[in-house]
Copies of this chain bind each other. A is one copy, B any other.
Amino acid sequence: PLEQQDALFNLAEKELDDGAIALILESQPIEKRIHLWRSLSLNHSVDVLTEMRSDARYSIIQSLSSIELDLVLSRLDNADLIEWADYLPDEIVQKALSLIDEQEIELYDQANEYNDEEIGRYAERKMWVLAKSLRVRHALRLISRDPSNTQPTIYLVDKHGTYYATLATHKLLNAPLDAPVLSLADQEQPALQADLGLLEASELIEHAEYDCLPIVNEHNRLIGQISVRLGMSIIREEYETTLMARAGLSESEDLFAPVIDSAKKRAVWLGINLVTAIFASITIGLFEDVISEVVALAVLMPIVASMGGIAGSQTLTLMIRAMALNQVSAGNLISLIKNECGIGALNGLLWALVIGLLAGLWFQSPMIGAIIALAICINIITAALFGVLIPMVLDKLKLDPALAGSVVLTTVTDVVGFFAFLGTATMLIL
């Protein structure tokens, strides 16, 4: 049946694009993954590796013989190598640099001047560039030299390579052959700076008038472009990173990484969260006396913690989105806090009532009902307040709120919740 699967896979290879094949390979256990990858034609095999997430890619690279590795590395272009280099051991990157074209190395070095948060690193370097003094006939000649490599825009530059204007390629249709290209071009369209952040750049291209925008270095020299398609893959990766970060995972997490590697990575997150839980435990420890007196309190503790945690995570999620979209500023922070605390107050009162009644009936004790009602109300309002403040503070400390936010928030809601609940109980009962 393995041969049968191989045949099916090879049939599929012809139909599928490299991205789809990469997804299939990622979904296979490592031995099968390597086996299927080897069955790809050489043309596809390198592009498929580039499309794969870094951990899965590395799982294949690690398994290659020295000769196979050389063959693969020699086929990389500068864009592939930039993508690969972030996650490969330095010796493999050096080896690749010794194997690829001079020209590709030069482009690689240019890209490498920017870090992985800057659009200059990922700028597409294949584009149509024309001297701004030329005419339509020259533009058409340029295009006829490389008709398969479509570009929706042509960039006009002066003799130093300084960016000047953007010309939508389709404007050359029906244009008189003698017209200066500059007369058809848009001189108002600014270029993006190469050190612009990835998300900002992808937002600009999403709403731009053109399907590609020029990118320039600090001397205003044209170094590349960003297309809508590149913007789309940036967006996808950025959101995936956020989604995975919520559970302390990286975007490159491999479904079938060796168990020991995955276990190590995840252990870190478990350890961080253990500290959180210990804070909660210490809080409870302060009130051992009242718990041993009234065990019902221990029974109800998860409800207090959970309601605060959930309410807080709602506010936190809303804040993280708003901050990613640059929607939070000093100007609206007070209004935001008022709003969230208002919502917290309403839900705090509602659920205090419900849970107070339930708990009072369950344990046949109005006192216990009253104690938990107070704790729930305090905890939900606190959760709303800290749901706004924690991501703001983390952001100021240059920590990613999507990664660290929920850990810190849970600590606060657990500690405050248990303190309110068990503290009130101690005062009223002991």
Contact = CB atoms under 8 A, between A and B. Distances in A.
Interface of A: 17-20, 23-24, 26-29, 140, 143-144, 147, 150-152, 168-174, 203, 206-207, 211, 227-229, 231-233, 235-236, 239-240, 242-244, 246-249, 253, 255-256, 259-260, 262-263, 266-267, 269-271, 273-274, 276-278, 280-281, 284-285, 288, 291-292, 295-303, 305-307, 310-311, 313-314, 316-318, 320-322, 325-329, 332, 335-336, 339, 342-343, 346-347, 350-351, 354-355, 358, 380, 410, 414
Given A273-B306, A284-B299, 10 more contacts: A20-B207, A211-B211, A228-B229, A256-B336, A267-B350, A274-B307, A278-B358, A285-B299, A288-B299, A291-B295
Contact of A355 (B246, B267, B274, B310): B274
Contacts of A351: 267, 270-271, 274
Contact of A232 (B228, B243, B296, B301): B228
Contacts of A306: 273-274, 276-277, 280, 410
A355 B316 CA distance: 29
B263 A343 contact: yes
A140 B266 contact: no
Contacts of A335: 29, 256
Contacts of A274: 303, 306-307, 351, 354-355
Given A143-B174, A313-B247, A255 B295 contact: no
A245 B144 CA distance: 50
B253 A278 contact: no
Contacts of A298: 284, 288, 291, 295, 297-298, 301
A77 to B, nearest CB: 18
A314 B350 contact: no
A295 B263 CA distance: 33
Contacts of A327: 23-24, 26-27, 255
Contacts of A168: 150
A19 B203 CA distance: 9
A228 B211 contact: yes
Contacts of A170: 143, 147, 150-152, 169-170
A233 B228 CA distance: 11
A320 B292 CA distance: 42
B28 A310 contact: no
Q: Is the interface of A mostly helix, strand, loop or mixed?
A: helix
Contacts of A29: 332, 335, 339
Contact of A291 (B140, B291, B354): B291
Contact of A307 (B24, B233, B270): B270
B321 A303 contact: no
Contacts of A229: 206, 211, 228
A318 B228 contact: no
Contact of A243 (B211, B255, B317): B317
B255 A336 contact: yes
Contacts of A276: 306
A355 to B, nearest CB: 7
Given A235-B236, A256-B335, A23 B171 contact: no
A305 to B, nearest CB: 7
Nearest to A210: B150
A90 B274 CA distance: 51
A264 B228 CA distance: 39
A93 to B, nearest CB: 27
B152 A211 contact: yes
Nearest to A238: B239
Contacts of A278: 303, 358
A281 B299 contact: yes
A129 to B, nearest CB: 16
A259 B348 CA distance: 13
A339 B317 CA distance: 30
Given A150-B168, A274-B306, A318 B173 contact: no
